[in-house]
Structure 1
Amino acid sequence: MTDPVFTPWLIPSDDFALYDALALLRASFQFMDARIDPPSSIHRLTVEGMREHCKDGGEIWAIGRPLLACMFLTPKPDCLYLGKLAVQEELRGQGICRTLVDHAASRATELGLPALELETRVELTENHRVFSRLGFTILNTGSHEGYNRPTDFLLRKPISLSADS
């Protein structure tokens, strides 16, 4: 998508758009409530927590004004962690998620990080398919505290850091 409306923009930590991003995330993640165990951490997310994420070196990117989509990025030593990606339900399937993931890959390259990583719940098979199509593969499984079964998958997408990519 080359339309400026679909160009990712960085939400500053003091921007009112954080409230819009939180509302979008909660609406987008609501379908999970009846499907995942344990419950999503989205229920504990606050605007103040989002501000702290930004102040601690994380980034929150959005598409659209008003917000159509958003994602959190967190630099780690060996990857850029992509979290809390949300696209308005009526706009899914139009390449907005791909635009965000491509932007995350560009940010990883700018930061000299060789990969993107994300986690998705075991039960959310549609997410597994989407991220597989976007070049992610399952690296391993994890379990939330108190669970003796896998509750999430860690997915990774290598990023080429060469100048000719």
Structure 2
Amino acid sequence: MQIPADFGRWGDVLALIMHAFALMDGIIDPPSSAHLLTVEALRAKALRETGFVALDGDRIVGCVFALERVEDLYVGKLAVAPDRQGQGIGRRLMQAAEDLARSRGKADIELETRIELTANHATFARLGFHETERTAHQGYDRPTSITMRKTIS
């Protein structure tokens, strides 16, 4: 479901992201920017981006945000509740982002994933993404992120 303008469950979305991204703690360096999120930051993010949530009854079990750029759609903060991973929730959220991109006339979707998260690289490759570059976070002299892109048209 696309997050409506009057969405009142940002605390639940934040809790989901923090729980899902906690699995990366101690694995990725630098730490995830998810640690900087607040309810207010998510509200502001939703004003600039389109958010989607996956629900199981009343429980939020997944989310993703999509930022429309001139030439493509950038997807970020994909999170699925750890106890629900492997059930197609992330795939459905990414499909919602693809559908949004098509509706906005975008031919490509781009995302970034951390170097250390090799399972994520494989998952995104299965979804049709391919690596386009490796970049380093500020202050790092080695690649820390992989940019991946998918052509959808």
2:137, 2:54 → 1: CA distance? 31
The reply to whether residue 98 of structure 1 matches residue 91 of structure 2 is: yes
Which of the residues 93, 98, 108 maps onto 2:101? 108
Which of the residues 1, 6, 10 maps onto 1:18? 10
- TM-score, structure 1 as length reference: 0.88
1:104, 1:15 → 2: CA distance? 19
* 1:27-82 deviation per Cα after TM superposition (whole angstroms, max 9, x unaligned): 000011110111110010111111111222x0111010310110011111111111
Paired residues, number: 151
Matching residue of 1:61: 52
Which consecutive residues of structure 2, in runs of 5 or more, have no partner in the other structure?
none
> What SS does structure 2 have at the residue aligned with 1:127?
helix
Is the contact between residue 12 and residue 54 of structure 1 (CA under 8 Å) also seen in structure 2?
A: no
Which of the residues 88, 100, 112 maps onto 1:119? 112
Runs of 4+ in structure 1 off by over 3 angstroms are none
Note the C-alpha offset of 1:13: 4.4
The reply to whether residue 80 of structure 1 matches residue 73 of structure 2 is: yes
Matching residue of 2:30: 38
- TM-score, structure 2 as length reference: 0.95
- Of all paired residues, the percent bearing the same amino acid is 43
Is the contact between residue 71 and residue 100 of structure 1 (CA under 8 Å) also seen in structure 2?
A: yes
Is the contact between residue 11 and residue 17 of structure 1 (CA under 8 Å) also seen in structure 2?
A: no
The amino acid that maps onto 2:151 is P
2:68, 2:19 → 1: CA distance? 26
CA RMSD in angstroms comes to 1.0
The amino acid that maps onto 2:76 is G
2:37, 2:59 → 1: CA distance? 20
Is the contact between residue 52 and residue 96 of structure 2 (CA under 8 Å) also seen in structure 1?
A: no
The reply to whether residue 140 of structure 1 matches residue 133 of structure 2 is: yes
